[in-house]
Amino acid sequence: MKNLYCSVAMGLAAISLGGCSEAETKITSAIKSVSGVKGESYAFRGADQSWPGAGNADLVLADNKDTANYYVIFDGSGSMQETECGNGSQRIEVAKQAVGTFFDALPKNANVGLIIFDAKGTRNAVPLKPNDPDLLKSFTNDSSFGGGTPLGYTLDYAYKELMKQGQMQQGYGEFNIVVLTDGAASDPDDMEKAIEHITYNSPVSLHTIGFCLGDSHALNKKGVINYQPAANAAELVKGLQSVLAESPSFDTASFDGDQS
């Protein structure tokens, strides 16, 4: 892994040297500087295979260790009642439609979990399980705007659930947290700690679609989080499509996200 990283780093830097330790150090430092993450991220520690740990003695291994896993965090906070960026509709209604398209597009053999925070509180609406788009959509469609934006708490919760699944898959497969939000975290310190912990300790990929936020969100961390701003329904769908584009096994041509 280190040799592969070395080759990639050398290609990006357009440097031809007998060794690559200096170039690797400079590039890694630059990425850390831009992202704001302290310490070398898990992705750059090729020899580190510590995640997700062994689990307990009662652990039951998954039948398919290569399964892709997605934990979706759906923001139904009070600001989602606004109509800006919704073309006359409340943001939450636009978000429901877009995330429903996303659920439909996810592979049927993927595991999908859903966390919602809204007027009813924060809850693990659908625990991680084989993709069931109709079930997932029934929960998002039933959500009502209201309350705060506990991104720190929900990121940490989703990560811990993915870590359990990672133990069942012995570290194989794909692991993703997908956040659809339109506002700043109500627990910013916890959010920063969660991002730091996830990035430094695991291969879990973080994706955020910032609805009606532009680039000004604390989850917009280059090199750490796949952040996609969305100013309308079409861009919201496009942002969700970018999550699927990250998967090597997914054909984006199958994503039917026409919101016109």
pLDDT category at 164 given cuts 50, 70, 90 is: very high
Average pLDDT, the chain: 85
- Answer for the pair 91, 85: CB distance below 8 angstroms, yes or no: yes
Place of tokens 């659930």: 161
pLDDT category at 255 given cuts 50, 70, 90 is: low
Dihedral of the CA atoms 70, 73, 74, 75 (nearest 10)? Answer: -160
- Answer for the pair 187, 158: CB distance below 8 angstroms, yes or no: no
Strand 225-230, strand 205-211: pairing: parallel
Taking residues 180-184, report their average pLDDT: 96
pLDDT higher than threshold 80 for residue 47: no
- Tens-digit pLDDT profile for residues 215-248: 989 999 988 999 999 999 999 999 999 999 877 6
Per the omega criterion (within 30 degrees of 0), is the bond before 203 cis? no
Percentage, residues of the chain above pLDDT 70: 80
- Tens-digit pLDDT profile for residues 105-139: 999 999 999 999 999 999 999 999 999 999 999 99
- Tens-digit pLDDT profile for residues 190-206: 999 999 999 999 999 99
pLDDT higher than threshold 80 for residue 23: no
* pLDDT at position 48: 79
pLDDT category at 66 given cuts 50, 70, 90 is: very high
* pLDDT at position 9: 39
pLDDT category at 174 given cuts 50, 70, 90 is: very high
What whole-number distance in Å separates Cα of residue 131 and Cα of residue 188?
31
What whole-number distance in Å separates Cα of residue 97 and Cα of residue 110?
20
* pLDDT at position 160: 97
- Answer for the pair 76, 146: CB distance below 8 angstroms, yes or no: yes
* pLDDT at position 55: 81
* pLDDT at position 251: 55
* pLDDT at position 17: 34
Whole-structure pTM value: 0.82
What whole-number distance in Å separates Cα of residue 196 and Cα of residue 224?
10
Cα angle, residue 238 at apex, residues 260 and 5 outer, rounded to 5° = 165
* pLDDT at position 198: 97
